[in-house]
Amino acid sequence: MPNICFLGAGSGFTRYLAVDVMQVPEIGGGEFRLVDIDAERLALSTGVVQKVAERVGGGRWTVKATADRRAALRGADYVINCIEVSGTATVRHDNDIPLKYGISQCIGDTIGPGGLMKALRTVPVWLEVLRDCEELCPDAWVLNYTNPMNMLCLAAARASRMRVVGLCHSVQGSSRQLAEYAGVPYAELEWRCGGINHMSWFVHLAHRGQNLYPLLCRRVQESRELWEKDPVRFDMMLHFGAFVTESSGHFSEYVPYYRKRRELIDRYCRAGYLGGESFYADNWPTWRRECDEWRQRVLAGQEELKTERSPEYASYIIHARETHTPYVIHGNVPNTGLIENLPRDGCVEVACLVDRHGIHPTHFGRLPSQLAALCNANMQMFDLTVQAILERSREKAIYALTLDPLTAAVCSPAEIRALALELFEAEREFIPALK
């Protein structure tokens, strides 16, 4: 029976993953260890997970809570990482200082100024966690959900012996959206996807052997209603030949095309997840508070606890490994030649077979050159950021931001340096001293 350690139990992922894992009878039960440094949020989350154990766990699961990470990691079989370093204290800095320089972000947690700063805050703590894992649970699988995904996985590959896979829901979510957009049953959709996290590409998309891209391109061009559902991703599909996995708003931050001038933002970006300016910064503190309020209502019996299994991969990995029931996920892993025309020392997102013996990435081959070039532009920024963190190099952190596609489209190198230094100063409490 597995021992599962959940780091960052105040995360909104906690209830979904607990529901997912505990309702699979074949896993046979085990121990769910919740860890968070915020005592109030840990108590709320623990109460909800205990309700999950009562509702769907069938008495097979023990729930424990602690602020002591090392105690929870000892002997763990799986470590699920959902930490949020600095909470909401830096949200406005990440967004508002770049905006002063003309850089408009929607989410800002994966690349760009916001992604750089989140990596500087998060990766050092993440590496401390992995060092604890090496000592206390060296045989565990570490399942990472925290962004910036690629940079955390890259840092782990370069500085840790732990077995780490990065998990996101953008591949399974986007494939379902594509079935809806194309008007075909999801079970009949044929697809193949690969790239990097938030920039994986559906290089094959078909229904009963027929390529769906001509149909989808025609529909998008003929239907304004369909176009408005995903304008940036549809525009990328029309001009680059494939649909990408991340939402229009988030993806608009990863390329130099859509957010560098106000008229382009107005043309291609919409409210909310479709590209709203400062969307994450304006809403994250509210979402966090509403999550806690929801937990309070559930514990007070004022709201029903839903128990449908989500498409998140964690429970399927645990199920596959514990019962030797093979399952395919799309995971973020080191590029050991899996995607031939992306950097071999980077991390990629590819299909992985999971069974009792572990998580086995599959060979993808080559991405179309134009798609590989877009991924590579992001990967160079990720590479320099991780170098900067491991070496505590101020200059390499600035180089990383200077190579960021959106930042470079808006600012000169001198402006980017000034922006970086202003961010470093504003968040010095939460980032390591850079030399």
CA distances from 20 to 24, 52, 277 (A): 7, 10, 33
**Distance of alpha carbon 349 from alpha carbon 334, whole angstroms:** 9
* Cis amide linkage into residue 148, ω under 30° from 0: yes
Calculate the dihedral angle through the C-alpha atoms of 25, 30, 36, 40, rounding to the nearest 10 degrees.
70
For residue 150, the one-letter residue type is N
Active-site residue 357, yes or no?
A: no
Kind of pairing between the strands at 210-211 and 199-207:
antiparallel
Cα distance from N-terminal residue to C-terminal residue, the chain? 46
Q: What are phi and psi of 206, to 5 degrees?
A: -150, 165
**Distance of alpha carbon 127 from alpha carbon 150, whole angstroms:** 14
Among residues 93, 169, 319, 330, the one annotated as catalytic is 169
For residue 83, the one-letter residue type is I
**Catalytically active residues, by annotation:** 169
